[in-house]
Structure 1
Amino acid sequence: MYGSSPNSMTANGSDSKKQRLDESPPSRVLHIRKLPNEVSETEVIALGLPFGKVTNILMLKGKNQAFLELGTEEAAVTMVNYYTAVTPQVRNTPVFIQYSNHKELKTDSALNQRAQAVLQAVSAVQDGSSPSSDPGVLDLTPPPSPVLRIIIDNMFYPVTLDVLQQIFSKFGTVMKIITFTKNNQFQALLQFSDPVNAQQAKLSLDGQNIYNSCCTLRIDFSKLVNVNVKYNNDKSRDYTRPDLPTGDGESTNKDHSLLDGTHPQRNSFASHGSI
């Protein structure tokens, strides 16, 4: 078992947390606690990506914890200092980061294959080489936009704007959504407040089913950096502008010209299958 004692792992007092943080010497291995259930390796790695090379990760999913190893102690210190001033969040849930008592992570690669595959993709991007073409290796290039373009495949049940907002808001603040039909496919443009949130949502949800065995999400970054929403109705919504009119059901956006022909989806489902 890596990290500190079980008692210190589960301590909840903010004073004791601050004391441990102050007493722990800097290490390039960071201990991350209070992670949401079913969090992915990519979401944890995304916390460290802005600060430098991520060299190893160990997930303790039963304990909602993880250990993240950065390439240098300096990068880890920068990360801890940043997240001391700004509360780190995963899926809109605050998490706690402190230095580990260990100076490096030694993991069994046979038991840690998924994490190693993700790290290989990260290394390829950070080293400037081409990421693996293996579809099982996730692309972790820096997010180009806070706007995601979403296509729903195998759509046996209606997918409403509210359902999309509920699913994607787990990863950050959803500001705007436009839904439309193009090439006989239900699509959406969804804008987060931060490109990193869009990246985390794409990494976690791309290829997932909204309902059991159907309504598969296909997600890419949009060329847009901002979505223009004119009306708040069943097909489009700007959550930052509750004063917008409902309009006549039409919504427009310069990214495409085939937004008409979309029919409002009024059925909503409480259960979201595998998500």
Structure 2
Amino acid sequence: MTEPSKVLHVRNVGYEITENDLLQLVQPFGVVTKSVMLRAKNQALIQMQDVGSAVNGEKCLHSVLFTSRTDYSGSEPSRAQPGFQALIQYQSHQSALSAIDALQGRNIYDGCCQLDIQFSNLSELQVNYNNERSRDFTNPALPSEQKGRSSQSGYGDAGSMYGLQPPGTRAVAFPQVCVDQAFLLAFLFQMGDAAAITAAFSGGLPPGISGTNDRCTVLVSNLNPDKFDEDKLFNLFSLYGNIVRIKLLRSKPDHALIQMGDGFQAELAVHFLKGALLFGKQLEVNFSKYPNITPAPDTHDYSNSNLNRFNRNAAKNYRYCCSPTKMVHLSTLPQEITDDDLVTHLEEHGTIVNTKIFEANGKKQALVLFETEEQAAEALVCKHATSIDGSIIRISFSQLQTI
């Protein structure tokens, strides 16, 4: 078996997946020193700063096939790409039928990874462990592995995890769909499937998020009315979903209604922003009693805004949802940007501790560390979608702790 190394070998990279997408994927695990896209083979090589970072990335990013090489030397890897299957049990027969109707024959990425979906011979799944190979989304209390046995079992022992339960253990037997592709979860994720969205959070949704909420509109209060407007609210809440409309309540200047794209996105916003400090105020974010915001002259409509982040690469955006942090990530920067340019553009919002500019897929990006989370949040809401030397920049919170 090849010893772990600093280089991750990524297979099945669709042509629409950019180098930047891959770098964003591995960013939480450490510093990337080199990356090479092997477009002819739909593969990529990503070299981390150290072996530990590469090992952590390989373990956590199990939805993508990684294999290690000793170091990047410019030679291309093997074309071998093993096939995989997955079993998915839906809550109802109709849901399984809908999945087959919608997804059979579809490609996960354009031109590759075609799905072959059919009903399984099993009528019910028995899942014993919640880990990278199996998960019961109705029972988050399951152990990750059997005592004394590693959860890194081979793909040939599926029967022990997906076996048929004894007759009579449930009143109703639900069908599941068998899918012949390793990227199933990522694809369903982009299709809006709740189970796949759950998988983005390491298989378990954050506490307090059900994944079944159908209320799309949230009420945010205790705003600083002298500092906030609709666009600043958009910049903040669009981190957690697409924004449909925003309305400031004129009778209560420190209140606003925000209609998200769906109930799950609204849940994320409530979870991650409740209690956030901004402009000297601690935000209160709750679900509104109103199901939606009626279009009106005093309502801002963002449904067609090209700044909505979840129209493309929804899976990646869900994956990086988090509460405000001290670190912000900037992208679509001008090629000639310097650290001094970053400081000049952002320093009015707080004390900048450190900055780092790097290049991914031929485009400049940066990390900026502020002294406090409130300062970073202020910089984000005020400077997202602003211009530096003609480039409209994008800002989001980074989960990295240090540069």
Q: Which fold has the larger relative contact order, with Cα–Cα distance below 8 Å and residues 6 or more apart in sequence?
A: 1
TM-score (norm 1): 0.46
Name the larger-Rg structure.
2
